[in-house]
Chain A
Amino acid sequence: MDTLWLALLAILVMGYFALAGFDYGTGLLLPFTRDRAAALRRMTPFFLGNEVWLVAAVGVLFAAFPRLEGELLSGSHTVFTIVLGGLVLFMASVQLRLWFGLIFLGALAVAVGWGLFVASLSGVPWFVGAALMPALFALHGMTFQSRSRLFGLTALACALPVPLAFSSHPVEGLMAGPDTLAMLSWVAIPILPLVVILQWSIVAISPR
Chain B
Amino acid sequence: METLDLARLQFAVTTSFHFLFVLLTLGLVSLVALMQTRFTLTRRPVHERMTKFWGRIYVINYALGIVTGVVMEFQFGLNWSGLASYAGDVFGAPLALETLIAFFLESTFLGLWIFGWGRLNRWVHLALIWLTALTAYASAFWIMAANGFLQHPVGYEERDGVLRLVDFGALLTNPTFGTALTHVVFAALTVGGVFVTGVSAYHFIKRTNEVEFFRRSLRLGVVVTALATPSLVGAGFAQFPIISEYQPGKTHTVPWIGMPLGFMILIGMTLTFASWITLPLLVRDWVIRMRFPLYLMVIGIPLPFLAAIFGWVFREVGRQPWLVYGLLRTSDAVSKVNATSMTLSLIVFSTLFLLLAITDWVLIARAVRRGPETTPQPVAPLVVAL
Contact = CB atoms under 8 A, between A and B. Distances in A.
A41 to B, nearest CB: 5
A56 B103 contact: yes
A33 interface: no
Q: Which of B70, B353, B386 has the most CB of A within 10 A?
A: B70
Instruction: Please classify the interface of chain B as helix (H, G, I), strand (E, B), loop, or mixed, using the class held by over half of its residues.
Output: helix
A59 B88 contact: no
Interface stretch (B22-30, B75-83, B216-224, B278-286): B75-83
Given A56-B100, A58-B74, A97 B84 contact: no
Nearest to A40: B385
Interface string A148-167: 00000000000000000000
Interface in B47-89: 60, 63-64, 66-71, 73-74, 76-85, 87-89
Interface stretch (B198-206, B243-251, B307-315, B337-345): B337-345
A95 B359 CA distance: 12
Nearest to A69: B77
B89 A180 contact: yes
A56 B98 CA distance: 9
B150 to A, nearest CB: 14
Contacts of A72: 77
Which range contains the number of A residues in contact with the other chain? 35 or more
A101 interface: no
Interface in A48-83: 48-49, 51-52, 54-56, 58-64, 66-67, 69-74, 77-78, 80-81
Interface residues of B, number: 72
A202 interface: yes
Contacts of B345: 77-78, 80-81
Given A70-B335, A92-B63, 12 more contacts: A59-B103, A62-B73, A63-B92, A66-B85, A69-B76, A70-B85, A73-B74, A74-B337, A77-B342, A96-B60, A179-B168, A187-B101
Interface of B: 60, 63-64, 66-71, 73-74, 76-85, 87-90, 92-93, 95-101, 103-105, 107-112, 115-116, 119-120, 162, 164-166, 168, 335-337, 341-342, 344-345, 348-349, 352-353, 356, 359, 363, 381-386
